[in-house]
Structure 1
Amino acid sequence: MKKISWLLIVIMILSITPSYGNEIPYTSANGQAAIVMETETGRVLFEKNSRERMPMASTTKIMTALLAIENVDSEKFVKVAPEAQGIEGSSIYLRANERVKMVDLLYGLMLRSGNDSATAIAIEVAGSVEKFAELMTLRAKELGANDTSFMNPHGLHHDDHYTTAYDLALITKEALKKPLFKKIVSTKFYVAESRDAEFKYFSNKNKILNTVEGGDGVKTGFTKKSGRCLVASATRGDMQLIAITLNDGDWFNTTHKLLDDSFELFMPHTVFEKGEVIGVAKLNEGKRDEVNALVDSKIVLPVREEEKDRIQTVIDMPENMEAPILKGQKLGKVSVYLEDQLLATSDLIAEEGIERLTMKDKLLRFLRIQ
């Protein structure tokens, strides 16, 4: 079936320069590396040394939580392995053979930064810390985080345990797609009902929740080798941004400023609404000759005001299709670019079902023509 690509002259946005985010002063980023990324499109709004490999301390636990959520029922009771008791650093004071719900381990991991919780999760998911670290690195590669290597689930220093600000943003972007993860990291206080009273109360250490407008997470981290590391996120209106700073003594002020500057400079711009008609598919042998193609998901891009006049929108759909067509059937896709950078795609689906002509229908058509 022949296919065509239509370049719609619905051009609304222009890409920013390759050195993303020059409009945000570098004085906003006091750390060794930093990045601001929008969560839906992955568009980088600002970066500083974002591809430099660095230790990331307890921000490691973002990946630990992601793998736990993807692989274990959050309501499952986990028997704490003896190896998880007494891990150095931050702790929720797990005891060997204690039975704790996975969801409570996750809150202990992200709110209290429990290294023992990270270890218990790793052993539950993969059978050992070593195998879990391999899974972490593999999952990172699947997300495009190719400059990341995990050696443990908690972030205690190891020379071969590292990431980049860019990779960490990709991992966080994926984790924020999980409703449970979003709920956990935005929670200020939590009671772990499956634990004894003495160790069931967790308070969130992340000041972003209280100091930044729309602040909704994500994770702090610190070791002597890594310095202070912070992954922060905030949502305002239809746009959520991730701001990361690594090895930064002024970590909260840095991410606060980066988020405020980014929200001031960039705005969510709706390119297509869900259900919007943007094309027509021609049909062969159908009771109707064509069917409208609808955008299956809303497309919103983070843009500056001056970028709203040059977006490149490409529709890829067969020139002709064979009936029958079901309502909601995929007909093609639409891709949205900022110059040569692909930022968003959506399936195109049929607005209605179109039946195939029967022999009787063809005969009646023939008789009407005569």
Structure 2
Amino acid sequence: MKRVTAFLLVMIMLFTSVSVSFAAKSKDPTPTAEPIPQPTLSPDAPEYDKEHPENLSPDQLYALSAVLMTQDKGEVIFEKDADERRYPASMTKILTVLIALMFVDDLDETVTVSQTAVNVPPDSSTMYLKVDEEIRLIDVIYGTMLLSANDGANVIAEAVSGDIPRFVDLMNRTAETLGCINTHFVNPHGYHDDNHYSTARDMAVIAREAMKNETFREIVGTTSYQLPRTNKQRARTITTKTEYMLTGSEESPNQYYYEYATGIKTGSHSHSGYCFAGAASKDGVDLISVVMFTGRKARWADTIKLMNYGFSQYVSVTPVDLYNMRPIKLSTSNYSTSDPDNGEITLVCSPVGENAQIVTTQSDVNRMADNLRDYVAFDFRGDLQAPIQAGEEIGTMTWYNDKGEPFVYSLTSSRSVEKRDNAPKTIDEIIAETYADPNPFPPFNFEFVLILFGPPLVLIGIIAFLVISRKKRSGHKMRAPKPVNRYVK
């Protein structure tokens, strides 16, 4: 009996020990992240018709805040509570990377990862940098954007400003310079802080400024990148988190892939919801969109709705396109009587150098075409006499963009116009014949004699006639009267 009791006591102790040990091992050392909210559409929202994107209404977006603007001028095309303060989450990294591109001359320089840089909240997205890791700054930038790496954002901040607080101050000053009056940053990566906020409009302004930078466009347009080997890690390939830039596979195509997408940055946490700042280009029209506090998949759906709406409203044209809507026709003189159009020619417009791009609404395109002389300067040559050859330049057209830069276009004849047979020679033809004549003197013939001596002889004859006539009159006046015999004897 004692043996049985002892055995039971031992088993109880072992079970208790195993339970305590299991409990200790299964305890999660990191706090569980709060769930990210997923907004839904209002039950009263009209059904979205993708065949008619021009009919988009704010209620058809999951996002609580959204904005769409043109890349070139920043004209707002669509908005929904665009000035409501919200948390930008990792969209913050757009400005972080932009500042790095603005202030660092050599992006290939090697930086050393500090303990402070890797000290990020446990539920952060990272690129798994290690303390004392030596890595090129450009590789950190790619990792920060493609993986939304908070540790990478910290490394960028220290590389640019020396420490994170001074970099954050630079971020706020830069945002203020861009006109973002409803924005304040506390860190370079966007992890939640009540004083770290922005608006859809301000984030679109920042994204638009970033997309002006060629290197930035190249980075955010990249879907995968090869991180080279460092002193702490082997080489590895990273892939973007921006789903609307990924095609998927043949077996599982991505329904949110957008063929016109050009970037740029996601963001998410429990306080911000899912966010996305996007860019797209189609037929010369470049757009920037921002959606804030939307759903995980809804951010792609919302962005595509906005982009399609923008492309339905805006078009990209050139001054040549505007001219061709109302081409200029001119009348010539000295044309052949057999000319089918009575000497009228249509001018063809073509760029002399670079062709300007004009992004505007279709209604503005029609208005500009109807009043083209209000937007361009025409310069035509004075002589429009036949003959005229097809392709011969008749004048020029000059377009000035918003910066006052001139774009010159040549206006040429669309066809040839023959000269009529009995048309008098033009001054240019006479000059050309004179210079082409090997004898600098005209031929000695009756016409030459008549032209050379005719006028002087006529003048001499007139003078002689006048002199003789005057002498006759003078002689008649001086003649003495014949005496008259008054007395008859």
Q: Normalised by the size of structure 1, how large is the TM-score?
A: 0.71
**5+ unaligned residues in a row in structure 1: which ranges?**
1-20, 274-293, 316-332, 336-343, 352-370
Q: 1:235: how far off?
A: 1.2
Q: Distance in 2 between matches of 1:350 and 1:334?
A: 9
Please give the per-residue CA displacement for 1:249-294, whole angstroms capped at 9, x wherever unaligned: 1111110111122212321133589xxxxxxxxxxxxxxxxxxxx9
**CA deviations over 1:150-171 (Å, ceiling 9, x no partner):** 1110000111111111111111
Partner of 1:114: 149
Deviation of 1:186 after TM superposition, in Å, equals: 1.2
Aligned mate of 2:74, from 29, 33, 42: 42
SS in 1 for 2:318: strand
Return the offset for 1:202: 1.1
Inter-partner Cα distance in structure 2 for 1:142 and 1:228: 27
- Which of residues 126, 137, 140 is equivalent to 2:172? 137
How far does residue 203 in structure 1 lie from its aligned partner after superposition? 0.7
* Aligned position for 2:227: 192
Please give the per-residue CA displacement for 1:119-158, whole angstroms capped at 9, x wherever unaligned.
0100111111111111111111111222111111000011
Per-residue deviation, residues 183-220 of structure 1 (Å, max 9, x unmatched): 11111111111535556321100012120021111011
1:252 to 263, 278, 300: 300
Q: Which residue of 1 aligns with 2:417?
A: none
Do residues 261 (structure 1) and 322 (structure 2) align?
no
Q: Write out aligned runs for 1:1-370 (5 A).
A: 24-72=56-104, 73-88=106-121, 89-195=124-230, 198=234, 200-210=236-246, 211-249=257-295, 250-271=298-319, 298-303=356-361, 305-311=362-368, 334=400, 344-348=402-406
Residue 226 of structure 2 contacts residue 235 of structure 2 at CA under 8 Å; is this kept in 1? Answer: no
Q: Secondary structure of 1:310's match?
A: helix
Q: Greater relative contact order (Cα 8 A, min sep 6): structure 1 or 2?
A: 1
Partner of 2:345: none
Q: How many residue pairs are counted as aligned between the two chains?
A: 288
Deviation at 1:66, TM superposition (A): 0.0
Whichever structure has more helix as a proportion of its residues is 2
Identity %: 31
The one-letter code of the counterpart of 2:74 is G
CA-to-partner distance for each residue in 1:289-338, whole Å, 9 max, x for gaps?
Answer: xxxxx9988242231x23323359988xxxxxxxxxxxxxxxxx956xxx
Q: 1:44 to 1:270 in 2, by over 3 A?
A: farther
Tell me the distance in 2 between the aligned counterparts of 1:350 and 1:231: 37
- Deviation of 1:53 (Å): 1.5
Cα deviation, residue 350, structure 1? 10
State the AA in 1 paired with 2:96. T
- For residues 186 and 269 of structure 1, the distance between their equivalents in structure 2, rounded to whole angstroms, comes to 25
Q: Distance in 1 between matches of 2:74 and 2:408?
A: 28
Offset, 1:60: 0.2
Inter-CA distance 308–184: structure 2 relative to 1 (3 Å threshold):
same
- Structure 1 or 2, whichever has the larger Rg, is 2
Q: What stretches of structure 1 move > 6 A for 4+ residues in a row? A: 294-297, 312-315
The alpha carbon displacement at 1:48 in A equals: 0.8
- In 1, the alpha carbon distance for the partners of 2:132 and 2:99 equals 22
SS in 2 for 1:302: strand
Are residues 182 and 98 of structure 1, via their aligned partners in 2, closer, same or farther at CA, if it must alter by over 3 Å?
same
Question: What CA distance in whole angstroms lies between the structure 2 residues aligned with 1:200 and 1:69?
Answer: 24
Residue 349 of structure 1 deviates from its aligned partner by 8.6
TM-score (norm 2): 0.54
Q: Helix, strand or coil: the match of 1:87?
A: coil
Separation (CA, whole Å) in 2 of partners of 1:169 and 1:346 = 26
Partner of 1:286: none
Of 122-131 and 107-116, more deviation after overlay is shown by: 122-131
Partner of 1:364: none
Deviation at 1:86, TM superposition (A): 3.8
Amino acid at match of 2:405: D
Question: In 2 relative to 1, CA 126–297 (structure 1 residues): closer, same or farther, beyond 3 Å?
Answer: farther
Q: Over residues 224-263 of structure 1, what are the superposed CA-to-partner deviations in whole Å (9 max), with x where a residue is unaligned?
A: 1111000111111211111210000111111011112221
Q: Secondary structure at the match of 1:308?
A: helix
The answer (yes or no) to whether the contact 2:56–2:305 under 8 Å persists in 1 is no
2-structure distance, mates of 1:160, 1:257 = 31
What SS does structure 2 have at the residue aligned with 1:187? coil
Residues in 2 aligned to 1:92 and 1:67: alpha-carbon distance in whole angstroms? 20
Q: Distance in 2 between matches of 1:242 and 1:190?
A: 24
| 1:327-358 per-position Cα deviation (integer Å, ceiling 9, x unaligned) | xxxxxx956xxxxxxxx43334999xxxxxxx
Q: Supply the distance in 2 between the matched residues of 1:76 and 1:47 (Cα, whole angstroms).
A: 41
CA contact (8 A) 2:64 2:294 kept: yes
Distance, in Å, in 1 between the alignment partners of 2:163 and 2:67 is 33
How large is the Cα RMSD of the aligned pairs? Answer: 2.8
